[in-house]
Amino acid sequence: MKTSPETHVPLTGYADVPEDQMLARALAFHDRMARRRSVRQFSDKPVPREIIEACVRTAGSAPSGANHQPWYFACVGSADKKREIREAAEVEEREFYAGRAGEEWLDALAPIGTDADKPYMETAPWLICIFAQRRGGLREGEDRKNYYIHESVGIATGLLIAACHEAGLATLVHTPNPMKFLNGICGRPETEKPFLILVAGHPAKEAMVPKHALIKKPLDEIAGFL
Ligand code: IYR
């Protein structure tokens, strides 16, 4: 590893957390994160833009290939644009549920109870449309190849979901397929690929979650220690 005062600065920001506190913090974070649910019934209660901005800043702090940060978050709060996105998404969803998905996929979704109607895309105050950039680079105006694009944007999206949850916002990952229509609605160049839509807002008072979603695989099924 090559470092020099021209290109590197000392690492800061890591307090030396005592081990018992490390465990307590890890457990407390798990306790909060494990309460997250995908929500499909939202309240129309507004969420101030500053809260979304703070969550997107957290997403933007994610690690990425060559630090090119190959993402763009189009935060849609306008009622007209949300309606456009809902309508275009529902066109795709109707085909999906009418057969394009295939039997096995529809079978997997049955316990969740989803269908082609997506009213929450208009009810929720924010639709965060996430785009992946094939090219870009770090500095504005650059046109360099980006690397590990899906990994990077996936990690950033994970941080965004965690940040929203920590702020007290409910979210839903939504992926109409195809979703090229998002480029036009969000005014993004054709070289960007829509990654997913994160619906964010307050949950509706009467919101329900599928029992199916409460089943989490135990640690020994998802991890091994070698
Ligand atoms: N995009 C559809 C279908 C869907 C697919 C998966 I995989 C899910 O986990 C949930 C839904 C929809 O939003 O209904």
CATH at residue 174: 3.40.109.10
Rounded CA gap, 190 and 188, in Å?
Answer: 7
Ligand 1 center–CA 168 separation, angstroms: 23
| Tally of domains within the chain | 1
Residue 7 lies in a domain: no
Neighbours of 65 (CB within 10 A): 15
Q: Which of 3-7, 11-15, 169-173, 219-223 is least confident?
A: 11-15
Candidates 170, 167, 172; CA nearest to 202 is 170
Segment 164-169 shows an average pLDDT of 98
Write the CB contacts of 134 (distance below 8 Å, at least 6 apart in sequence): 70, 145, 146, 149, 191, 192, 193
Residue 219 lies in a domain: no
Residue 25 lies in a domain: no
Residue 57 lies in a domain: yes
- Which pairing describes strands 126-133 and 71-76: parallel, antiparallel, or unpaired? antiparallel
Q: Whose CA is nearest to atom 13 of ligand 1?
A: 174
Helices 149-167 and 49-59: crossing angle in degrees, nearest 10, is: 140
Q: Ligand 1 pocket: which of 96, 109, 179 to mutate (most atoms <8 Å of CB)?
A: 109
Rounded CA gap, 124 and 67, in Å?
Answer: 32
Rounded CA gap, 132 and 70, in Å?
Answer: 6
The token pair at 113 is 């109870």
Ligand 1 center–CA 115 separation, angstroms: 8
Confidence of residue 222 (pLDDT cuts 50, 70, 90): very high
Q: How does pLDDT run across 55-68, given as a tens digit for each residue?
A: 999 999 999 999 99
| Mean of all residue pLDDT scores within the chain | 97
Candidates 150, 102, 100; CA nearest to 130 is 150
Residue 171 lies in a domain: yes
The token pair at 167 is 């702020």
Ligand 1 center–CA 186 separation, angstroms: 22
Residue 88 lies in a domain: yes
Segment 143-172 shows an average pLDDT of 98
Ligand 1 center–CA 198 separation, angstroms: 13
Start-to-end C-alpha separation, the chain = 27
Q: Is 164 exposed, middle or buried (CB count within 10 Å of its CB: 0-12, 13-18, 19+)?
A: buried
Ligand 1 center–CA 119 separation, angstroms: 14
Global ipTM: 0.94
Q: Ligand 1 pocket: which of 39, 92, 94, 96 to mutate (most atoms <8 Å of CB)?
A: 96
Residue 74 lies in a domain: yes
Q: How does pLDDT run across 104-130, given as a tens digit for each residue?
A: 999 999 999 999 999 999 999 999 999
Segment 189-213 shows an average pLDDT of 97
Side chain identity, residue 191? T
Residue 3 lies in a domain: no
Confidence of residue 78 (pLDDT cuts 50, 70, 90): very high
Rounded CA gap, 78 and 81, in Å?
Answer: 5
What is the total residue count of the chain?
226
What was the pLDDT predicted at 176? 87
Confidence of residue 15 (pLDDT cuts 50, 70, 90): confident
Task: Give the domain range for residue 85.
Answer: 40-205
